Amino acid sequence: MTISTWQHTTVLLSEAVDALLGSAGEATDQEAGHATQTSLTYVDATFGRGGHSRLILSRLPAAAHLIAFDKDIEAIAEAALIKDSRFSIRHEGFKHLGELPSGSIAGVLMDLGISSPQIDNPDRGFSFRFDGPLDMRMDTTRGLSVAEWLATASVDQITEVVRDYGEERFAFPIAKAIVARRQERGPISSTADLAGIVASTVKTREPGKDPATRTFQALRIFINAELEELEQALAASLEVLEPGGRLVVISFHSLEDRIVKQFIAKHSKEAYDRRAPFAVPQAMKLKSLERVRPSDAEVASNPRSRSAIMRVAERTAVLA
């Protein structure tokens, strides 16, 4: 596997690692055993190009371990460059987080969305700005590409995906145009073809935003089952985090952030069984700590960070 030449600037780099490690990141090897957490194993659930992982490793004691996950084979190739016995990576999505031992992890970091190399490489098919094959799979070794799915999807199916995952108010006319184009001239195989169809259908759009933005987002989220995987990974985090363990999640659009926000809120309060009003309530599982946005300086230097929101929570002492 050839390492990508496209560069990626990690969003909220120091803020995320500070939140993940807490005081443990400042402890020496001798002090580590006296930290609140008993485990020295952390998880970078979305390795990407390794920005967070490298900084985490630089701050962990010698006895610690970092486990990373990623579906992208280019990310796996990048991870192979890290020659550190404390580090390992799994070529699979972070929904597999629950396969780790219960209560064994001191912190989980999830940096959602896609990386700059994935967007900027035309061969990946994520961007409407560059012409390339209409793929959009995070893991190009398995599953259907967007082109393959659009070749058979109905107007109703396309409408539902573009509406629900892209929050696109023109979802129905876009879906009709895609199917009409397919019936007239055959399957849509390139990003330029799809972007052109959407542009000719969507007549109005927010200033500075390409008409195809929401449609491409929707198809990417759908084809990679991103929201479903996020929900599975969040649920798994409750099982694998030890008491005092940190959950840090960086999201880049409202659909992701809504899921994270609601998940933390749900588990940050006592749960009552309405069928047994006098029963002892189930103790809360998380404590919400903070919500962080990129600084003005970070947004100025990396405009792709402008929509990022980081939420931080801590596993409570009572395990489910």
Tell me the pLDDT band of 29, cut-offs 50, 70 and 90.
Answer: very low
Q: If you average pLDDT over each of 19-23, 159-163, 251-255, 314-318, which comes out highest? A: 159-163
Smallest CA-to-CA distance from 48 within 8, 14, 86 is with 8
Task: Report the mean per-residue pLDDT for the chain.
Answer: 89
Indicate if the pLDDT at residue 279 is higher than 80.
no
Q: How many Cα atoms sit within 13 Å of 177 on the Cβ side?
A: 17
Cα torsion 231, 234, 236, 237 to 10°: value is 180
Average confidence (pLDDT) over 214-238: 97
Q: What number is the average pLDDT over the span 4-16?
A: 78
Give the count of beta carbons closer than 10 Å to the beta carbon of residue 136: 25
Share of the chain above pLDDT 90, in %: 75
Q: What pLDDT score was predicted for residue 24?
A: 65
Residue 28 clears pLDDT 90, i.e. is over it = no
Cβ atoms of 286 and 314 within 8 Å: the answer is yes
How many other C-beta atoms are found inside a 10 Å radius of the C-beta of residue 138?
25
275 — pLDDT class (breaks 50, 70, 90) = low
**Interacting residues of 255 by C-beta distance below 8 A, sequence separation 6+:** 165, 167, 221, 227
CATH 3.40.50.150 maps onto the chain at 13-116+226-315
69-104 pLDDT, tens digit per residue, is 999 999 999 999 999 999 999 999 999 999 999 999
pLDDT (average), residues 119-148? 90
pLDDT at 31 over 50: no
Give residue-wise pLDDT tens across range 293-303. Answer: 999 999 999 88
pLDDT at 223 over 70: yes
Q: What is the pLDDT of residue 265?
A: 96
| Residue pair 90/96 in contact by the 8 Å Cβ criterion | yes
Show the tokens assigned to 304: 């792709």
Helix, strand and coil content of the chain, in percent to the nearest 5, comes to: 45, 15, 40
Helix (H) or strand (E) holding 153: none
H or E stretch covering 6: none
Range list for CATH 1.10.150.170 in the chain: 140-223
Average pLDDT, stretch 247-255? 96
Residue 317 pLDDT:
79
Which residues are CB-contacts of 282 (< 8 A; sequence separation ≥ 6)? 270, 271, 272, 273, 320
| Tokens encoding 81 | 């460059």
Fold classification of 140-223 is DNA polymerase; domain 1 (1.10.150)
Which tokens in the block code for residue 153?
């999807």
CATH number of 13-116+226-315: 3.40.50.150
Asked which of 58-62, 206-210, 295-299 is least confident by mean pLDDT, the reply is 206-210
Q: What string of DSSP letters covers 59-128? A: HS-TT-EEEEE-S-HHHHHHHTT---TTEEEESS-GGGGGGSPTT-EEEEEEE-S--HHHHH-GGG---S
pLDDT at 2: 42
Give the pLDDT of residue 277: 61
Q: Is the pLDDT of residue 1 over 90?
A: no
Q: Are 168 and 156 in contact (CB under 8 A)?
A: no
Could you tell me which of 192, 156, 198 has the C-alpha nearest to residue 178?
198
User: If pLDDT is split at 50, 70 and 90, which confidence band does 106 have?
Assistant: very high
Residue 42 has pLDDT above 80, yes or no: yes
Question: pLDDT grade, residue 222 (50/70/90)?
Answer: very high
